[in-house]
Structure 1
Amino acid sequence: MTSAVGVRVLGPLEVVTTAGPAPLGGSLRTLLAALAVDAGRVVAADTLAERLWEDGGLDAGASTVHSYVSRLRRRLEPQRPPSGWQVLQTRAPGYRLVLEEGALDAEEFRRLLTLARGRTDPAAARDDVARALSLWRGPAYADVPGDFARAEAARLHEQRLEAEELAAELDLALGRHRQVAGRLPALVAAEPFREGLRAALVLALYRADRQADALRCYEEGRRLLADALGVDPGPQLRRLHELLLRQDPELDAPAPATAVAGAAAAPPSTEPSTEPPTGSPTGSPTGSPTGRSAAPASRRPALPTPPTALLGRTDDLARLHRLLDDGARLVTLTGTGGVGKTRLALAAAREAGDRAAARFADGAVLVPLATLDDAADVVPAVARALGVGAVEGPGARDAVAAHLHPLHLLLVLDNFEHLLDAAVDVAELVRTCPHLVVVVTSRAPLRVAGEVEHRVEPLALPPAGAGADEVLSSAAVTLFCDRARDVVPGFRLGEDEVRVVADVCTALAGIPLALELAAARVRVLGPRDLLARLDEALSGGRRDLPERQRTMQATLDWSYGLLDAPARGLFRRLGVFSGSWTLPVLEAVEGPAVLPVLEALVEQSLVRVEHGEDGARFSMLEPTRQHAQRLLGDNERAQAQAAHAAAHLALAEEAYGGYQRDAQVGWLRRIERAHADLLAAVDAACAAGDGETAGRLVWAMWLFWWMHGHLAVGRRACAAVQRLPGLPDRVRVRVDLALGAMLFAQGEHEHAEEVWDRARRLAVATGDDEALAHTAAGTGITALARGDAATAVERLRAALGLAAALPAGSDGPWLEALGHVWTGTALTALGRDGGEGAAGAGGRAREHFETGLALARRRGDRLTTFVALYNLAQAEAPHDAPAAERRLHEGIELSAQIGDLANLSHFLDALVVLGAAGVDRDPERLAVLLGAARAARDTVGADVYGFYLRDDAQLEAARSRLRHRLGGERFAEALAAGHALPVEAVVRLAVHGHGTLTAPAAPATPPS
């Protein structure tokens, strides 16, 4: 239920809330209008920006629309409801205005007009039109500028004229011609080319015994049309003129109590048919509505009506209707067990009958197949459902086809997956019966000619980190709460329970059956207990469900039982996967002959497939994966986990080299998708005591963890491997190197130096030059982070020498480029300190930055490139702000490309400092970027780049300056808006924002 907010747009825009009228300034009024024209629908933030700023200021609009929304919310709902904002809701990719029925006068006007057109009583219809017209207070959106408002106002004005025409038509039908003759002249004068209004006035004047005035009115219209447009009146006016000249009795007023047929002609009814959907012919005894000979009537059961509403399937229903409208005649709904295929098929069949009554004049028939054991029984089951009687044997299909041939029928075949040998019979019925349409539900497609497959996916889940409004509006959570209210009337979620229920729905993968089974347990379990006891919660269900759907395990056992032995074995072993996988990875685990078996699991909806940048990726829904794990024996699990770990080690080590070169973006994205399985491989190797595999995995993963901010995860993995006994020296030293990197990135610089120093001693003892180069660089940046610039210079120069001596296929070239940049940073710090060796440090630092940047660009290494760019921007900012700005822009784009949010936050802060110190014309943009930087750091949970020479005092000064220029409220709103911006929008705003940071000062021009 929304708050009591009324919005009036049929005149100047007005808002009334529970606290009284809500005055709005120009920008907020335009924003509300931009939402009102699409009330009830989601309007993208970019679209709102275009409507707010039509003068080309799109980027600036997109950056501030979020803060405008925040201000408008508080005008519409002065007191935020406990469950979150109700009227102006956040819905990706923008916002939605939700009002109670009748609260938006334009929608109420349309509703009343539709109601009037649907009535057969002209008096009642006239009352509806009068109420609709009374809502108008002047031109629609009268005080809202913008093309979108003018376009909507024009549409509403056209509908108002249609309402006036309908009012006149109804008045004439009711014998009120004198009122029409007195009311319409002014309207006809205002709309002289509106022939419907003129015709009504002509007829009203004639019936009021003003024949001369009627003829004069017609002649004025004819002359206007000829002079202005060069055309004659339309057929309606011409015929009316002829009848006037003859004084035809057809023009006489009706008797007062007579309702004129067609005066308020109703369109075809959109209400559900009240006739029983038996499939028997309808219409008169002499023929059916389609004009064909009716088949013999037979008694068929109506489609069952489910006891609960179908939720979250609007898009599925729309696609099914499109398929049927486009002529599809054999549609198979596939999907995992419990996903809701039957419910969807029944809803589609029922709505298809309402939408296309002639096409399905003989109704829709459901044929349940779950209890059949033999494919040969499918056709007889169809015959029984049709009321044909008992048909068996070789001639059964022909007998059913003969019965179906003349019928316009929709046939729903439910639960076909275990009877796929009957697919040919179904295809033949479709081929030989020209008006038959078949919808099949099955966990596997039929694979016959003419079949169109529609994949039924689980219900949409709330995204990670979604707010309460977005969680509660997601399809999966909506279904869960709806079903929970069935067992606990008044069920509501507290603020602290919303995220818990989101986790429940995510754990159940949005599968409707699982959600319903879990929701039924809220009578005895609160959300937190339910999350902890999900297996128990799914162990029982409704007694009126088929046995195979009473529990999730029964549903999955049904699917498992349909598999052959090789497919069952693969299904069990896939339980060791935690996320998604590619075919090459699976072939590395299972062998090169796995594809046909995998395809069988995909067909049976036990494995999902999605196509992305790196080709097809396969996965299992979480309840399905857990079922596969339960079926694994101990020996089979150990073998599968070892093969899984070996395959992912090969993948991780291949990716490690890619992180240092131009392929790093692709590899980072690919490893992000495989991250869950790589962690599972580390855990499995640790559990098996395989320290070498586990240690090599964490070393291959550390740079990915660093750049993508998975620091706590990486630290835990390294610590777990470090505790394993018997690690080979080459592996142990690299585990310490990886652990030191995680500690440094989390800001524990002293601890990191201890770990790296331990690794240094082991590298020296074993002659591991590559590890030694890493330790020299690591202890160098820890010295830099704790302010010992001289030691940092010494260690980093040593690291440069060690890296340069390493072979090309090692980490040496990458460390050399990065070492130059870090050495330059240390020299910069030394120059600032003014200590020994400080003279000339600045110039030498610049040389190192440029050298490192050139080496990094040559390799396509974005990480080293943006580290160099940051330092160069810092060096150039005092004397060449445009050059510094260009460096920062490039670094921001590179950070976004590789998904390095920690680095992005540093660059955004630096851009804000540069802009706030200059003459930037848009302080709100800078404040938004400041909020975005904080969001990036919050996501990672650490600064990571502890070797950057930041000036926090400058940043705080910039923050204070922006707060002063914007005021406390606008500053806070801009920070909040930046915190909510997606990375892509942040980059657009930072790099391509309105104006430039170093442009000459110009007077501020707020959006209007």
Structure 2
Amino acid sequence: MDNAKERETPQHLPFRLQLLGPVAAWREGRPVELGPPLQRAGLCLLAARPGQVTTKDMLITGLWGDRPPNTAEQSVYTYIAGLRRVLEPHPGRRGPYAVLVNRSRGYALEHGPMQVDVEDFERHLAEARRLHGAGDRRSGLRALDAALSCWSGPALCGIPGPFAEAERARLEELRLSAREDHADTLLDLGLHQEAAAALTELAAEAPLRERTRDLLMLALYRCGRQADALQAYMDVKRLLAERLGVDPGTPLRERYELILRADPSLALARDGVRGVESPARPPRQLPRPTSGLVGRTEERVRLRSLLSPWDGGPPQAVVAITGAPGSGKSALAVQAAHASSHAFPDGQLYVNLQGATPGVERLKPIDVLSRLLRALGLPGGAVPSEEDEAAAVLRDRLEGRRTLILLDDAAGPGQVRALLGLPSGNAVLITSRESHAETDDCVQLVLRRLLRSEAVTVLAKLVGAERIAADPAAADRLAHLCDLLPLALRLAAARLAERPDWTVRDLGTRLEDRRRTLHELEAGRRAVRSSLELSYEGLAHGGELDRLAARTMCRLGALHVASLTPELVSALLGEPVDAAERALDRLARAHLLEISGPGRYRLHDLVRLFTIELADARLTPEARKDALMGALGFYGATARHASTVLDPHRVQLPWPAVTQPPLALATGDEARDWLEEELPDVVATATQAMQSDNDDVARLGAYVGFALTWQLARGAHRREQRDLNRQALAVGERTGDQEIQSLAHGQIAFALLNLGRAAEALLHQQAELELRRRLRDRFGEMRALGNLGVALLKLERYAEAREQTEVQRAIAREIGSEVGERHSLLTGAIACRKLGDLTAAMSLVEEGLALAQAAGDRYHETIGLSLLSELCLDRGDPQTAKSYLERGLRQAREIGFRVNECESLALLVRVHRLLNEPAQALAYAREALAVRQRSGDEHLSRLLEDELRVIETAFPELSLARGVPPRAALIS
């Protein structure tokens, strides 16, 4: 059953939602928990209105009807938050949301990357109606079959509420009508027995549907069962009278009368079919199928339906199986050809085109045509020597026949173009590493990696089930180290067969050493490396675009990132973006990398190892440096630009001059999306660079890390910020670069402060201040003084902190730094509050807030609002504090300031508790807990624990019943 579900949820679909049956969802093939029934009901309602606004009132009415509970509105917010946790592509991240978005007056489900089975069902129905209107009954039947295959049980099964009931009824009516249309089409095609069987089943399921009975009577009559047809009428007449007190309608009565007198109009007029005489000895050239073929169930079923349609119609003219080297294309093609051989009584022909055979020249089209014509009985002397003439003879020879031609290992579309365009009834099955998406009348099937369970089964078949079962975890790891590719799995199995003294874990350990991986995956003349080398050499000796793609492969090995974009590869190559995009697309067509999203590509793990070997062998040290410096320049420039677009008031750390321009990012949303999506790869690139022996590369890597300062701070990536800047400090010390040392000390201090290690942070902050004074950098000194004040606050040395902020403010005014002045005012206000001088604190906050608002600095404005709320709480005014906090929370979320979001939520828990509103307090506690778990903020844990202790004591009936975990869970 699990394998069947995996087949229904292909890996290339990011998110699949099933409503036609038990409501369920899968993300990239893995089940997703959608939450309680009413939350799933809300999802169903939103999914029924894709892209349209669903208001809060519509949700309440759809879930509870005219008498919703008092908590309905709060429950809607809870369900929306719960759905976002499972629907959003980056779960756990606060807005802006990409899938379930806020719109004026409500919410909308923007599910471009989501596949919903209801939409598939309705699309297939519409296509069936179109085809029926055009007179194409067979294609219409296939569309109806596809529509009905979308169902796996009663629609919206288990979902409560008025909307679910109405939608369930609507969809059920569509399903029953589709089954009737399906049976009607079977009758049109003369498939009376199949129609009668389907309608008998449908009549038992829906006994009062008159159209079902009408079609059943016709089907039974055409099967020669006139008495049964008449009895079917009598049965429905009785049921209608007993249950509804009515008689059958006019169409049903008329059908009864026609059957009663055996009216000729009931017969189906059919054209005769001209038979074709087959050769006495049709060719049977297919190789023996591989005995160890495992998995690929979905692909096998798809190939079977294309080559031998169940309705007896003509096969698909051209089918191409493409995929990465070692993905098992040939084995699958041979198996599929054997499985469909009964549909090709006039022969099955096979030619190995040698498009990727080491050391062997690929076959020319005329050579292939000659082989095929001789196999079909044409004497060798009669085979034309010209390609066009030979192709015409082949078409003539195959007219009226049903023959399958398997063209294995095609170099590309050009090698097979002359062999296509055959008469209807014949089929050409092609395997190739290259894409055939542009080949006329061709259906392309791209082989992905095997499922994990399938890969482990391959190993068990080849090595022995007992040996694999002895260590399932090691077998699973070995499968993934083989990148779930059949060739690599077979080679790994061969290595184990050669070494019976090795355990599965032993081989896995050897493969984990990337220097040995490709060496270990060799057996005899077969190897993953040689397969990849052939693909690379084919590009390297091809045309201009192929050579650029080969050069791109080499450069990709110099950079260790998970995701690629044309802009990044442009910087890596030193070529225009459009050229980089063409090179990436060329590699994708050769299945050496895969498209992972719009404008995004990724390398398979084994291909990545091969590119690293390529870079080591073929790139000079200078070329490697150029590639890395280009990528670093692009990443750093874009990160700084994106941070500036998001918040122009934040001071960007120094950045060296580079030739790479930043990516054009016009809006805050674009900037935020780029930073969030690229952050792991930018961090990985900076880390790789700082480990380089080349000082120039290492220094630029440190500056790329500094360019991420505000993104790391906004997202509360504290450990990443600490580790990245510790590496930068090592680079600065190694190269004697005091500027890098100073910046790194400051960044380490900032990260340590937020990790609750203020004493260590103070040492780094003092080191930064000393270096800034040594460098006579007044702005850097001013900034270091401000951060020193923050460190002293964390150490509860409030008087010293206030002194440092006063010095900072004096320097800020001296050099004209408005942002420095705002920082000093807000930090000083915190110090005054902690010293008990609320009047001075309020004065400083108000001044700093006014300056921030005048400058449009939302970051400092958010901090100021949070400080004002705390001062209001100190003065016993929770109502005013609530107003400030709600404003501050909105702004924190809008600018992605997660630390302040945490603090605002925790303070709102306290505010609503003081206002005697425990339900609202607990709702904010749930949100605060979710944010805290993502941020790792221990200060928030303590604050929440204190508040929840008070709430549990004062309102024991609301605490755990509202879904807030026990206090122990908050600090785990």
The 8 Å contact of residues 434 and 590 in structure 2, kept in 1 or not, is answered as yes
Give 2:554's aligned residue: 572
**Pair 1:563–1:791, CA change in 2 (3 A):** same
User: Of 640, 643, 646, which aligns to 1:659?
Assistant: 643
> Where in structure 1 are there 5+ consecutive unaligned residues?
3-31, 69-91, 97-139, 167-185, 247-287, 460-474, 981-1008
- Residue 413 in structure 1 maps to residue 407 in structure 2: yes
- Residue 530 in structure 1 maps to residue 508 in structure 2: yes
Give 1:311's aligned residue: 295
Give 1:299's aligned residue: 283
Cα displacement (A) at 1:969? 7.8
| Aligned ranges 1:431-510 → 2 under 5 Å | 431=421, 433-445=423-435, 450=440, 454=444, 456=446, 458-459=448-449, 476-486=451-461, 487-489=463-465, 508-510=482-484
Cα displacement (A) at 1:576? 0.7
- Residue 777 in structure 1 maps to residue 786 in structure 2: yes
- 1:847-875: CA deviation from partner (whole Å, max 9, x where unpaired): 32343355344xxx6x5554445445545
User: Of 693, 703, 707, which aligns to 1:700?
Assistant: 707
Q: Secondary structure at the match of 2:839?
A: coil
One-letter amino acid matched to 1:443 = R
**Pair 1:968–1:225, CA change in 2 (3 A):** closer
The 8 Å contact of residues 222 and 233 in structure 1, kept in 2 or not, is answered as no
Give 2:957's aligned residue: 965
User: Of 528, 547, 557, which aligns to 1:552?
Assistant: 528
One-letter amino acid matched to 1:693 = L
One-letter amino acid matched to 1:485 = A
Q: Secondary structure at the match of 2:619?
A: helix
Give 1:890's aligned residue: 890
Cα displacement (A) at 1:775? 0.8
User: Of 910, 913, 919, which aligns to 2:917?
Assistant: 919
- 1:708-741: CA deviation from partner (whole Å, max 9, x where unpaired): 4444344334333423433233333223223323
Give the whole-Å Cα distance in 2 for the aligned partners of 1:787 and 1:949: 19
**Pair 1:39–1:425, CA change in 2 (3 A):** closer
User: Of 314, 324, 329, which aligns to 1:341?
Assistant: 329
Q: Secondary structure at the match of 1:375?
A: coil
Give 2:628's aligned residue: 645
Cα displacement (A) at 1:779? 0.6
One-letter amino acid matched to 2:330 = T
One-letter amino acid matched to 1:403 = R
Give the whole-Å Cα distance in 2 for the aligned partners of 1:294 and 1:749: 90
One-letter amino acid matched to 2:250 = V
Q: Secondary structure at the match of 1:414?
A: strand
The 8 Å contact of residues 481 and 508 in structure 2, kept in 1 or not, is answered as no
Cα displacement (A) at 1:38? 7.3
- Residue 429 in structure 1 maps to residue 429 in structure 2: no
User: Of 617, 620, 623, which aligns to 2:603?
Assistant: 620
Question: Which stretch of structure 1 is more off in the superposition, 575-584 or 320-329?
Answer: 320-329
Give 2:125's aligned residue: none
| Aligned ranges 1:809-958 → 2 under 5 Å | 815=820, 819=823, 823-824=825-826, 826-834=828-836, 837-857=837-857, 863-864=859-860, 866-875=862-871, 878-880=878-880, 883-884=883-884, 886-887=886-887, 889-891=889-891, 893-894=893-894, 898=896, 904-915=901-912, 917=914, 918-919=916-917, 921=919, 925-926=923-924, 928-937=926-935, 941=936, 951=943, 954-957=946-949
One-letter amino acid matched to 2:590 = Q
Cα displacement (A) at 1:782? 0.7
Give the whole-Å Cα distance in 2 for the aligned partners of 1:198 and 1:604: 52
Cα displacement (A) at 1:680? 4.8
Cα displacement (A) at 1:788? 2.5
**Pair 1:589–1:406, CA change in 2 (3 A):** same
Q: Secondary structure at the match of 1:438?
A: strand
User: Of 750, 755, 760, which aligns to 2:769?
Assistant: 760
Give the whole-Å Cα distance in 2 for the aligned partners of 1:607 and 1:64: 35
Q: Secondary structure at the match of 1:965?
A: coil
Give the whole-Å Cα distance in 2 for the aligned partners of 1:694 and 1:715: 15
**Pair 1:427–1:218, CA change in 2 (3 A):** same
- Residue 678 in structure 1 maps to residue 685 in structure 2: yes
Cα displacement (A) at 1:777? 2.0
One-letter amino acid matched to 1:572 = C
Give the whole-Å Cα distance in 1 for the aligned partners of 2:679 and 2:685: 10
User: Of 594, 606, 619, which aligns to 2:592?
Assistant: 606
| Aligned ranges 1:973-988 → 2 under 5 Å | none
Give the whole-Å Cα distance in 1 for the aligned partners of 2:330 and 2:695: 45
Root-mean-square deviation (Å): 6.0
Cα displacement (A) at 1:645? 3.1
The 8 Å contact of residues 777 and 795 in structure 1, kept in 2 or not, is answered as yes
The 8 Å contact of residues 198 and 217 in structure 1, kept in 2 or not, is answered as no
Q: Secondary structure at the match of 2:407?
A: strand
One-letter amino acid matched to 1:879 = Q
**Pair 1:775–1:145, CA change in 2 (3 A):** closer
One-letter amino acid matched to 2:592 = L
Cα displacement (A) at 1:785? 1.5
- 1:281-325: CA deviation from partner (whole Å, max 9, x where unpaired): xxxxxxx99535345351224575443455367389769969999
Give the whole-Å Cα distance in 2 for the aligned partners of 1:921 and 1:801: 47
| Aligned ranges 1:725-744 → 2 under 5 Å | 725-744=734-753
Give the whole-Å Cα distance in 2 for the aligned partners of 1:674 and 1:187: 56
One-letter amino acid matched to 1:658 = A
Give the whole-Å Cα distance in 2 for the aligned partners of 1:230 and 1:332: 51
**Pair 1:848–1:448, CA change in 2 (3 A):** closer
Structure with bigger RCO (C-alpha 8 Å, 6+ apart):
1
Give the whole-Å Cα distance in 1 for the aligned partners of 2:593 and 2:234: 77
Cα displacement (A) at 1:634? 6.9
- 1:882-904: CA deviation from partner (whole Å, max 9, x where unpaired): 52453254146336xx4x65555
The 8 Å contact of residues 332 and 439 in structure 1, kept in 2 or not, is answered as yes
- 1:501-559: CA deviation from partner (whole Å, max 9, x where unpaired): 7766655544443355446767733458615534656646797xxx77x3321221221
**Pair 1:885–1:769, CA change in 2 (3 A):** closer
Q: Secondary structure at the match of 2:406?
A: strand
Cα displacement (A) at 1:626? 1.4
Cα displacement (A) at 1:425? 6.0
> Where in structure 2 are there 5+ consecutive unaligned residues?
3-17, 46-61, 66-71, 87-112, 118-155, 184-203, 264-270, 542-546, 647-667
Give the whole-Å Cα distance in 2 for the aligned partners of 1:238 and 1:962: 79
Give 1:720's aligned residue: 727
Q: Secondary structure at the match of 1:562?
A: helix
**Pair 1:555–1:681, CA change in 2 (3 A):** same
| Aligned ranges 1:787-798 → 2 under 5 Å | 787-798=796-807
Q: Secondary structure at the match of 1:54?
A: helix
Q: Secondary structure at the match of 2:430?
A: strand
Give the whole-Å Cα distance in 2 for the aligned partners of 1:38 and 1:956: 34
Give the whole-Å Cα distance in 2 for the aligned partners of 1:380 and 1:198: 53
The 8 Å contact of residues 33 and 149 in structure 1, kept in 2 or not, is answered as no
| Aligned ranges 1:11-50 → 2 under 5 Å | 36=22, 45=34, 47-50=40-43
Q: Secondary structure at the match of 1:763?
A: helix
Give the whole-Å Cα distance in 1 for the aligned partners of 2:395 and 2:758: 80
Cα displacement (A) at 1:328? 7.0
- 1:762-821: CA deviation from partner (whole Å, max 9, x where unpaired): 1112211232132112111111222223333332344345456658xxxx565555x16x
User: Of 219, 237, 246, which aligns to 2:256?
Assistant: 237
One-letter amino acid matched to 2:401 = L
TM-score by structure 2 length? 0.64
Give 1:403's aligned residue: 397
User: Of 327, 350, 353, which aligns to 1:369?
Assistant: 353
Give the whole-Å Cα distance in 1 for the aligned partners of 2:707 and 2:163: 56
Q: Secondary structure at the match of 1:456?
A: strand
Percent of counterpart pairs with the same letter? Answer: 17
Give the whole-Å Cα distance in 1 for the aligned partners of 2:818 and 2:943: 31
